[in-house]
Amino acid sequence: MTAVHSWPTGGIDDGVLPVTVGEIAGISSNTVGNIVIFHRGSHKWSYDSFDNNNVFTEILQGPIPENVILTLDSRTGAIMESWGADKFYLPHGITIDHEDNIWLTDVAMHQVFKYSNTLQLLLTLGVRFVPGGDDKHFCSPTDVAVSRDGNFFVSDGYCNSRILQFNQMGDLIGKIYGQTPGLPAPHVFKVPHSLSLDADHNRLFVADRENGRVIVFNSDSKTFIDQYTGFGERVFAADYNKINDTLYVVNGDDGYHVVQGYTFSVRTKQIIETWKPEQGVFEPYDLVSPAGGTDVYVCQMNPNRVWKFQKQENLEK
């Protein structure tokens, strides 16, 4: 995989944007393969953003005034659409499902949102600004993965370290717990940070960030299948692509390992390639590999930007 340094053209690299781009926490793709990012605008997540009870301390500054959701043309990186001003406080995960519904998590509000492809709010889960660990509350949820039948998983997240499953109406139907005394090690999460589904084989991939691994569960039974390691001590995101049964993974700085991306064969359970930009700071936070393609898009913070990676033989002239 090689970084495409001409992407985006007239976009993030050049600073020619319709809105201010802040910390880019989430990235996804829609059904036509264009890229959608979820960023924090003028808000930043600092050590003082939450108190000891996980309550957001900066509510009085109001929601982010800039449009925080941008759609980028997958070929050029040009901004195609922007929205989301005055709705969110600390964006995190974004997932676009098979019907182009947009699923978002906000770690400050402790909520999960579902918007239609016409930007109508369809579903809200969690209690606004109230963290918790029961069936009605989240505590800084990180990501969403949606099944073909409309059921969905939420990784919850920074405080609770659990996975919750809901039906399409938003009713809780399943749980995968972490950090519970007595559970075997494969189930003890330490910040489940991103989710990805393999619908054909009923596999749920969980990037277990601070444990440095990807855990695989059966998405129907919620039972443990396997775990993949060798990516360093921090794994920020993993995204499954059914082409060649491939899992794309990005790690984070742990003081020991190179920060980079990995192409992992689920079939052989081996890392088949590592990749990162030849030049420039690489601090990946999330990634997506659009269905039906082999390109990979990675969002990062410090500096805030999006990278496009392609296989060498597919590089655009």
The CA–CA distances, whole Å, from 125 to 17, 28, 100, 131 equal 31, 20, 19, 12
Segment among 169-183, 212-226, 244-258, 273-287 with least mean pLDDT: 169-183
Number of structural domains in the chain: 1
**DSSP code of 20?**
-
pLDDT tens sequence across 40-97: 999 999 999 999 999 999 999 999 999 999 999 998 888 899 999 999 999 999 999 9
pTM: 0.94
Q: Are 24 and 285 in contact (CB under 8 A)?
A: yes
| Vertex 242 angle, CA 237 and 247, to 5° | 30
Does the pLDDT at position 114 exceed 60? yes
Range of the domain at 175: 2-314
Does the pLDDT at position 317 exceed 50? no
The CATH number assigned to the domain holding 307 equals 2.120.10.30
pLDDT, mean over the chain: 91
Mean pLDDT to the nearest integer, 123-130? 98
179 or 274, higher pLDDT: 274
pLDDT tens sequence across 289-314: 998 788 999 999 988 889 999 987 65
The residue count of the chain comes to 317
pLDDT tens sequence across 253-295: 999 999 999 999 999 999 999 999 998 889 999 999 998 788 9
Mean pLDDT to the nearest integer, 26-30? 98
* Pairing of β 111-115 and β 102-106: antiparallel
